[in-house]
Amino acid sequence: MEKKWISSVSLSLLLAGSVLAGCSTDNGGEGGGGDSGDKTTVTLAGWGGNPTEQALLEETLADFEEKNPDIDVKLEVIADQYMDVMKTRLIGGEGPDVFYLDAFEAPGMIETGVIEPLDEYVTDEFEVEDFEEPLLDAFKQDDATYGFPKDYSTLALFYNKTMFEEAGVEVPTTWEEMMEVSKALTKDGVYGYGVAPELARQYYVAESLGGSVVEDNMANFGSDEVIEALQPVIDQHNVDKTSAQPSEVGASSGGDMFGQQRAAMVLEGNWNIPYLEETFPDLEYGTAEVPTINGEKGTMAYTVAYVMNAASEKKEASWKLIEYLTGKEGMETWTSKGFALPTRKSVAEKLGYADDELRGSLVAGAEYATVWANGTNLPIITNNFNNQFISAFLGDRPLDEALKEAEEQANSEIGSEE
């Protein structure tokens, strides 16, 4: 159930496929890629969302078509294996004009040359400076901008108000406080903290003591600084026994674990709010910024951009679509229901998300978040990290041994591909 809320910010691009849905009634010629009469048909591809998200996107596209009567938009919803489908189509010269691109995949896709640089299309009226800088930077390479982020989520601390009140503890603001509070909250089958033992969630923790997970596009997570930073995550689970991952309590995700009240705290994103509202409507909870580590604020950010196919024959019309979808008006419509957070600061302010009781903590983290993207080899690095980090998390082997072996394997795989 929770997964349908995640699609708008896409913690992963493995949400995709081959079901096609047309937004425009005019297919614009053979395959939906041609022009019909005086109109230009632009194809837009992305993965699907829940019905409310789909309706918001279709509303935004209808507004665009009304303001641009010479352009029709054909929406293609790829419901399975999105990146595999997209890469195959782009290589075969059959890619859409505009499509979603996750920051995690962006460096590798940009390097192939299939993404159009957008700087030459941008005017002063577009107000690039209005975007949250870390989110925009995720789609830059060699001082060129290849995409504009359509939405995002950071992580925030979700806490069970009832459990906190019964335990007589305050919401933690530092990692040390969170460890101590977890002890008071762990009892009767409930864990103080529900943790996701994977790099996508632990990246900012890994770098909190000055280490680098990736260095010169190679794995570096076996360094002493990274191991030292991650050791408390392992110790909380294996020594204090005040944390657990969702599968250990029969839950499908951190949000599900929290909603079932098997964890008093979890670090989750904006997707968790509508999920909890629908699935666990009686749950009394709050959110706060992620506890600081070593005196520094930190969180993750997950973002997706609209990008243009470099091989598109309709670049002017494609840019008009991107400009509207990531402009103030289009972004306001798309993010108006709170399923996704706006990447433009002015839109977040207008919609009141910065002051929202639940979303304010998520918005606050945007300016200091670590974006889930770093070089072309991050997918390989991530796979190897996750394979071995979980073994240390479950107590099967020491963390330093596990990560050093995983780093060696990752770099071996990277070397064989170069």
pLDDT band at 416 (very low <50, low <70, confident <90, very high): confident
Number of Cβ atoms within 10 Å of the Cβ of 49: 21
Question: Residues 146, 106: contact at Cβ < 8 Å?
Answer: yes
Q: Is residue 203 pLDDT above 90, yes or no?
A: yes
Instruction: Answer yes or no: same fold for 3-153+302-371 and 154-299+374-417.
Output: yes
Among 393, 345, 387, which residue's Cα sits nearest to residue 366? 345
The stretch 88-113 carries a mean pLDDT of: 95
Classified by CATH at the fold level, domain 154-299+374-417 comes out as D-Maltodextrin-Binding Protein; domain 2 (3.40.190)
Q: What is the Rg, in whole angstroms, of the alpha carbon atoms belonging to the chain? A: 22
- The domain segmentation of the chain, as residue ranges, is 3-153+302-371, 154-299+374-417
Q: Is residue 42 pLDDT above 60, yes or no?
A: yes
Q: Comparing 33-42, 58-67, 300-309, which segment has the lowest mean pLDDT?
A: 33-42
Identify the H or E element spanning 287. Answer: strand 285-288
- The token pair at 322 is 């991107």
Q: Is residue 94 pLDDT above 60, yes or no?
A: yes
Question: Residues 119, 275: contact at Cβ < 8 Å?
Answer: no
pLDDT, residue 233, reads 98
Q: What CA dihedral angle connects 396, 400, 401 and 405, to 10 degrees? A: 120
Among 173, 182, 107, 184, which residue's Cα sits nearest to residue 139? 107
The stretch 335-354 carries a mean pLDDT of: 95
Q: Is residue 24 pLDDT above 70, yes or no?
A: no
pLDDT band at 38 (very low <50, low <70, confident <90, very high): confident
The stretch 288-315 carries a mean pLDDT of: 97
pLDDT, residue 49, reads 80
Q: Is residue 35 pLDDT above 70, yes or no?
A: no
| pLDDT tens for each residue of 373-393 | 999 999 999 999 999 999 999
pLDDT, residue 418, reads 61
Classified by CATH at the fold level, domain 3-153+302-371 comes out as D-Maltodextrin-Binding Protein; domain 2 (3.40.190)
The stretch 149-161 carries a mean pLDDT of: 98
* Mean pLDDT over the full length of the chain: 91
Q: Is residue 345 pLDDT above 70, yes or no?
A: yes
Measured distance CA(405)–CA(27) in Å, rounded: 53
158 pairs with which residues across the strands?
A: 266, 287
Identify the H or E element spanning 73. Answer: strand 71-77
